[in-house]
Structure 1
């Protein structure tokens, strides 16, 4: 897709979601890249999204199940952002970003009581997924009055490529059986997207899946393929 987007679409009236690709470049500050270059890419991305410069909110992702809240009128986050793996906006007034390079980017939208939108962006790696970050995000949206929850699961490492030790697979699948998979070379694996979809459906969240395996696709960053790689982003925002 042009302009550095792997996928982009209007997912509701005035509400957009997207996943960038390697043409946008690395968007992370923690991978040894030049901070000024990263900031320039973020600024260019905001311009293509049509949002205010400096308004795109990132997190300092730490493989947790913690979800924070941000609302229109809040000042910009200091430094790399809060240590969270989920960010919820009850009025869709701030564009949200989640960065990944094999883990799952999951974007949420819910209908707000006033007829507008609520949004959330979530980093769901294996630990966060098993820790309940998707359930915590859905619960946060419902507590804020959200209804009609939907989620977009973005590109990630697929179940044919995410090899794990047999004991780790057994432990994870005892909690979430839909994770069970096998690599294309016949070893134990986990399918994060399938596990997330099953967890979301159990929560009565309507699921949309955007295809793409990061390890198999040069246009997407993959830590398993290249440990020194950058990060692409999942994005959700309301049109100005």
Structure 2
């Protein structure tokens, strides 16, 4: 499991420099160079990295082979295939990586506010379990994302989120209603029986070493990446 920052790539401003998103207006050649660099660092062939057409859905897709194009209209990928790396692109949404190495099942989840509200993580864990994973064996890693102290939303939205994702409603540093998606997801994962949870506290809005859509609007995307090494079992 790895998470990237915006440093170490070839993209020019405002995508500087390690932008991995191919849908944000960056030079396609630069994006491919950055993705190739990522693959080299983690020791995989670039063709073994699988990406998603992320649309803030709660769709979960099982992948069994490399994909030449992003998997259409899905916000979570699950696989049991070794050396097939699942990528999630973010710039404030929560990247969630899940791995049951004992049973050989991994997943990458794009948990934005809408997807988290509509159960994308729950559906992903359920799909992992259908493929042999066990909640008690799953390790969960939540990456850098917009923090509750900076994620201001209307009061009605905060209330709706709390109804669907308990533990997510909060108050921002301005004293206004906010949403802490990571906090809600941690509580949700615990309720699903997942106990090995690590949540990176860094806020993408505050920390300029990360891309942030809410801060900059036109910007790149960092990623979370998870794969089976093939040495499991």
Distance 1:160 1:80 in 2: 33
Matching residue within 114, 133, 137 for 2:120: 133
**Counterpart of 1:86?**
76
CA shift, 1:88, in A, is: 0.2
Q: Tell me the CA shift for residue 64 of structure 1.
A: 0.4
The answer on whether the counterparts of 2:47 and 2:67 sit within 8 Å (CA) in structure 1 is no
Q: Displacement of 1:77 after TM fit?
A: 2.1
Q: Distance in 1 between matches of 2:163 and 2:226?
A: 32
1:108-143 per-position Cα deviation (integer Å, ceiling 9, x unaligned): 001454xxx211000001111111111111111111
Query: Which residue of structure 2 lines up, in the alignment, with residue 179 of structure 1?
Result: 168
Provide the rounded CA distance (Å) in 2 between the counterparts of 1:218 and 1:27: 16
**1:68, 1:93 → 2: CA distance?**
17
1:104 to 78, 94, 97: 94
Taking structure 1 as reference, are residues 93 and 47 closer, same or farther at Cα in structure 2, changes over 3 Å only?
A: closer
The CA RMSD over aligned residues, in Å, is: 1.3
Compared with structure 1, are the counterparts of its residues 172 and 63 closer, same or farther at alpha carbon in structure 2 (3 Å cutoff)? same
Determine if contact 2:105/2:228 at 8 Å carries over to the other structure: no
State how far apart, in whole Å, the 1-side matches of 2:166 and 2:201 are.
Answer: 21
Q: Aligned to 2:36, which of 43, 47, 50?
A: 43
Structure 2: state its 5+ residue gaps.
Answer: 9-17
CA distance in 2 between partners of 1:111 and 1:96 (Å)? 14
Q: What is the match of residue 67 of structure 1?
A: 60
Helix, strand or coil at the partner of 1:136: helix
The one-character-per-residue Cα deviations of 1:163-203 (angstroms, maximum 9, x if unpaired) are 00011111111222301111101110000110110111110
Deviation string, structure 1 residues 70-93 (Cα, Å, up to 9, x no partner): 12xx2x324333221000012343
State the distance in 2 between where 1:68 and 1:103 align. Answer: 19
Residues paired across the two proteins, number: 218
Structure with the higher fraction of residues in strand conformation: 1
**2:111 paired residue among 124, 141, 146:** 124
Hey, what's the Cα distance between the residues in 1 that align with 2:223 and 2:25? Answer: 17
